Structure 1
Amino acid sequence: MTHYLAELYSPKPAWLTLHPKDRERFFETIGARMAGLSAIGVEALAFGETDGAIVHAPSQRFFAIWRAPDAAAIQALAEGIAASGWHGYFETINAAGAGDSIDDHLAQLAGL
């Protein structure tokens, strides 16, 4: 069953003070690790800056949305992100789980 990871994140002071060359090296390392994640079916769907004008906007400044074939691949993605040092630079909230249809999801909510 397809699983998803939605990340919401904002830069920490450590990122804001990091030299541009060090930022570039950090992103090169992340790019190199993506090949292994792609091999297990992890797919980046979207990245962007959050819209602060939307109703119930998050306090986090950016988002990323990922798709993978199963929970194990999403776990590998989350572990890979953590191992990269990402959380030292960005305050992150992760939401992950299997994707359901709207009817199935409404049934989950109704069953609470």
Structure 2
Amino acid sequence: MSHYLVELYTPNAAWHALPVAQRQQFLGHIGSALAQLSHLGVEVLSLAETAPGIDQGSAHRFLGIWRFPTEVARDALLDGIQASGWYGYFDHVNAASSTGSADSHLAALAAA
């Protein structure tokens, strides 16, 4: 069973206060760490800017969508994000789930 993580994030004042060289250095470390995740089976489905102007859109500027073979792999990514200091530079929201189906989702909604 696959596991998924959706991140929504926007640079905050601490990020905007960083000089460009420090931003580049920080992002260089992030890029290096991301390259090492493939051995855990971590898949990047999308890392992109959010589409503006959609109905009920999020105010967050960026999103990440990930797929993992296990919760352990998902938690390794979340631990790495935390350890990197990322949350100090971005207003960030995470949502995680396992694989689901329309039928089970509709049943869960009906029961909510």
Above 0.5 in TM-score? yes
1:65 corresponding residue in structure 2 = 65
Query: 1:58-104, CA deviations, whole angstroms, 9 ceiling, x for partnerless residues?
Result: 12111110110011111111111111111111010000110212222
Query: 1:4-55, CA deviations, whole angstroms, 9 ceiling, x for partnerless residues?
Result: 1000001011111211111111111112212332111111110222223111
Say whether 1:110 aligns with 2:82.
no
The alpha-carbon deviation at position 107 of structure 1 amounts to 2.0
Q: Note if contact 1:71-1:97 (Cα within 8 Å) is conserved in structure 2.
A: no
1:23 corresponding residue in structure 2 = 23
Partner secondary structure for residue 34 of structure 2? helix
Aligned length: 112
Equivalent-residue separation in structure 2 for 1:47 and 1:28 (angstroms): 16
Equivalent-residue separation in structure 1 for 2:17 and 2:96 (angstroms): 30
Q: State the identity %.
A: 47
Partner secondary structure for residue 58 of structure 2? coil
2:78 corresponding residue in structure 1 = 78
What's the RMSD between the two structures over aligned residues? 1.2
TM-score by length of 2: 0.92
2:48 corresponding residue in structure 1 = 48
TM-score by length of 1: 0.92
